[in-house]
Chains A and B, each alone.
Chain A
């Protein structure tokens, strides 16, 4: 019986493609918008994720994100090192600075000073050059998105910048996820960063901590807070802080929420209407089948198979469209590092299932209400 259901569905090409389009469009809208949304707000955590080796970030109690940090006295580093369970701790400075480019423009940059000895705090991968270039005097490493922004169509290697009246030479390009504002990021040594950033009393923005037992990072962060009076966040907590900051301070969740809801509503509308029309067109056939002796359970299964096929094809095409979109824009700096969290296709799958269940149920109600006796009229 089920293949008959599928034949009935595909026999009406107009409605079949209408249904597939509705589901595909819905899936595309939900998946693609959610993907962009998630990636956009995760930009708030890029500063955390770019540092690949720190289990815990220690900061002043009033610091909120990687970009909003109140500096601590230099002895905070030793305080943190004194805590049991801390395998290592290194200083980390993050500050805003203005840089004068070759053609005289002023550009706001983020200067990130990493530990002089170990270079902990640099992104995991380099696009060009090696991290050793920081051993040379006045060296900075620029992030790749910043490089394309500051030096379009040319290699930034060897370019000289002026930072706080100091010379800085770009000697490497790091492969990093850009921040929410796509600020140009310059990585340099901690001691060098102190010179590049106009002086304030305290300079140490963060202490990056490696735990003896990374699995116990949460307990360690609580111990650090207890013993030093500073704020300690595990990597995931601090990443979430960055994301929450963007959620609280921008209209992004609301806007994307609207689009996703629209995707859902459009899906329900197109699919619901088309499915109802399809069922109405075939109501006589369903009636005949019921009279001949097809049980309601079988009818339900037939409609479910029809919904399933439409769902499979529409969902597949919608996800495929999203993939092609992300893939197609992968080289665009705006979309650098964009990925599709595996949860999102599942969310859109659930939405599609909900759309089909809802519309299928509405359509099926008509069929089940049809009296077999109506076929004699």
Chain B
């Protein structure tokens, strides 16, 4: 039947056309509307095992970067006001290099006092020596006189007494000198103790004191270490291994380590040692409320030089080969 618009029947031609077109549209709508549930690759690369470990037994752990010396928290033997601060975080220092100094004015005053006392003692010694010489000469003079009447016995006894007293005065003055010297030495030691020096060569990691602050040996007030330093070349990484996984670990094998957030930059770290103690897991989230009942074996690895990729305190993901399942 030729298409004749006048004879177009609603139920026989238009309705089925609507139905077919509607069904086609519905099919398109349904297919277009199906939810997208395809799996997609993550936008940023997550940490994953290195290629050569992918198909092998392995143990994964997370860890924290630390200096090879571990972190040294520099303290102060004395309390006092910080008068000089000679380092900044990031500075490399040699062993014995001055880090900061405390207020030493009081001790220096004591030193000066002691030095004055030394001078005084020396003067007293000189005076005592000359007095002893005078008394000696006078006594010798009396002794040379043969005539007993010429010199009374009393004169001689007084002269002997003068000579003895002069010797005693000299010894006293010498003792005072020693005492003053000891005081000066003690003050110098104090002054030295007020200057805090690096116990070893390394890098300053944190400086928590400012010039003018009072540092106390009593702790308190945040109880932060005054200065943290450590040997950062090389860096170590302390990897926590779940105690259940620990027996599988192949001790001594190199680990593949990547920093959080840069999972594609994996480096190989050299085994240093495993800590003899299995310790409760230290939370890496720094939440005070965190208590965890699992224990971990800590394994120390040495990181290669990577030009700033790893920093002390950074969290890392690590993969370590495991013993085969045959064991």
**Interface of A toward B, CB cutoff 8 Å:** 6-7, 10, 13, 16-17, 20, 49, 52-55, 73-75, 77-82, 84-90, 115-120, 124, 131, 177, 191, 194-195, 199, 201-203, 210, 212, 214, 235, 309, 312-317, 319-320, 322-323, 326-327, 337, 339-342, 345
Q: Is the CB of A199 within 8 A of B289?
A: yes
Residue of A73, A235, A327 touching B294 (CB-CB under 8 A): A73
Q: Chain B residues with Cβ under 8 A from A86's Cβ? A: 48-49
CB within 8 A of A82: which of B31, B285, B322? B322
Give the docked Cα–Cα distance between A17 and B11 (Å): 9
Q: A82-B58, A120-B42, A340-B29 are in contact. List 14 more A-B contacts (CB 8 A).
A: A16-B11, A75-B240, A78-B240, A82-B60, A116-B260, A199-B289, A201-B292, A210-B48, A316-B19, A319-B23, A327-B29, A339-B30, A339-B33, A339-B35
In contact, B37 and A320 (Cβ under 8 angstroms) = no
Contact: A74 with B16, CB < 8 Å? Answer: no
**Which A-B residue pairs are the 10 nearest by beta carbons?**
A316-B19, A81-B60, A199-B289, A320-B22, A88-B46, A75-B242, A10-B11, A117-B261, A88-B48, A339-B33
Q: How far is it, in angstroms, between the C-alpha of A10 and the C-alpha of B292 when the chains are bound? A: 78
Determine the chain A residues whose CB is within 8 A of the CB of B38 once the complex forms: 52
Residues of A within 8 A of B33 (CB): 326, 339-340
Instruction: Choose from B22, B56, B293 the contact partner of A73 (Cβ within 8 Å).
Output: B293
Inter-chain contact A124/B61, CB cutoff 8 Å: no
**What's the minimum C-beta distance from A104 to chain B, rounded to whole angstroms?**
27
B269 at the interface (CB under 8 A from A): no
Q: How far is the CB of B135 from chain A (nearest CB, A)?
A: 87
A52 pairs with B244, CB closer than 8 A: no
B285 to chain A, nearest CB (A): 5
**Complex contact B43–A119 (CB within 8 A):** yes
B22 CB contacts on chain A under 8 angstroms: 316-317, 319-320, 323
- B41 contacts chain A at the CB level, 8 A cutoff: yes
Known: A118-B43, A124-B36. A74 touches B60 (CB 8 A): no
* CA A339 to CA B59, docked complex, whole Å: 43
A78 close to B62 (CB less than 8 A): yes
Least Cβ–Cβ distance between B110 and chain A, in angstroms: 51
- On whether A75 and B281 interact (CB within 8 A), knowing A210-B42, A323-B29, the answer reads yes
What is the distance, in angstroms, from B323's C-beta to the closest C-beta of chain A? Answer: 12
| Residue of chain A at shortest CB distance from B31 | A342
**A88 touching B47 by the CB < 8 A rule?**
yes
A316-B23, A320-B26 known; A118 vs B292 contact (CB < 8 Å): no
- Chain A proximity of B182: nearest CB distance (Å): 58
- Checking B40, B56, B285, B296 against A84 with a beta-carbon cut-off of 8 angstroms, the contacting residue is B56
A322 to B289, CA, bound (A): 53
A-B contact pairs, 17 of them (CB 8 A): A10-B12, A16-B11, A17-B11, A49-B37, A55-B39, A78-B240, A80-B60, A82-B59, A84-B56, A89-B60, A120-B44, A210-B48, A212-B54, A316-B19, A316-B22, A319-B22, A320-B22
Do A309 and B29 form a contact, CB below 8 Å, given A16-B11, A339-B34? no
- Contact assessment for A337 and B35 in the assembled complex, using a CB-CB cutoff below 8 Å: yes
Contacting pair B245 A79 (CB below 8 A): yes
Contacts of A214 in B (CB 8 A): 39
Docked complex Cα distance between A82 and B19 (Å): 58
B263 at the interface (CB under 8 A from A): yes
Within 8 A of A (CB), among B118-146: none
Q: Which residues of A contact B57 (CB under 8 A)?
A: 84
If A81-B317, A340-B30 touch, whether A120 touches B49 (CB-CB below 8 Å) is no
The verdict on B15 contacting chain A, using a C-beta distance below 8 Å, is: yes
Residues in B neighbouring A55, C-beta threshold 8 A: 39
Specify which chain A residues have a CB less than 8 angstroms from the CB of B9 in the assembled complex.
10
CB contact under 8 A between A118 and B42, given known A317-B18, A317-B22: yes
Chain A residues lying within 8 Å of B11, measured Cβ to Cβ, are: 10, 13, 16-17, 313
B161 at the interface (CB under 8 A from A): no
B286 to chain A, nearest CB (A): 8
- CB neighbours (8 Å) of B277 from chain A are none
Give CA–CA (A194, B284) in the complex, Å. Answer: 12
Whole-angstrom distance between the Cβ of A336 and the nearest chain B Cβ? 11
Q: Does B319 contact A (CB under 8 A)?
A: yes
Is the beta-carbon distance between B25 and A117 smaller than 8 angstroms?
Answer: no
User: Would A79 and B244 count as touching, CB distance under 8 A?
Assistant: yes
Q: How far is the CB of B193 from chain A (nearest CB, A)?
A: 42
Residues of A within 8 A of B290 (CB): 199, 203
Residues of A within 8 A of B43 (CB): 118-119, 131
A226 to B22, CA, bound (A): 52
B44 and A81 contacting across the interface, CB-CB below 8 Å: no
Contact B39 A201, beta carbon cutoff 8 Å: no
Residue numbers in A under 8 Å from B8 (CB-CB): none
Contact B284 A74, beta carbon cutoff 8 Å: yes
**B42-A53 in contact (CB<8A):** yes
Inter-chain contacts of A316 with B (CB < 8 A): 16, 18-20, 22-23, 26
B41 touches A53 (CB 8 A): yes
Check if B164 is an interface residue, CB within 8 A of chain A: no
Structural contact, A90 and B46, CB atoms closer than 8 A = yes
Contact A342 B34 (CB under 8 A): yes
Asked if B241 lies at the interface with its beta carbon under 8 angstroms from chain A, I say yes
A84 touches B58 (CB 8 A): yes
Partner of B245, one of A16, A82, A203: A82
Q: Which residues of B contact A20 (CB under 8 A)?
A: 15
Contact of B242 among A53, A78, A119, A124 (CB under 8 A): A78
Contact pick for B39, options A84, A212, A235, A314, CB 8 Å:
A235
CB distance from B178 to the nearest CB of A (A): 64
Q: A118-B42, A313-B15, A317-B19 known; A81 and B49 CB under 8 Å?
A: yes
> CB < 8 Å: which of A116, A199, A212, A319 contacts B287?
A199
The answer to whether residues A74 and B245 also contact, given A16-B11, A87-B48, A201-B291 and a CB cut-off of 8 A, is: no
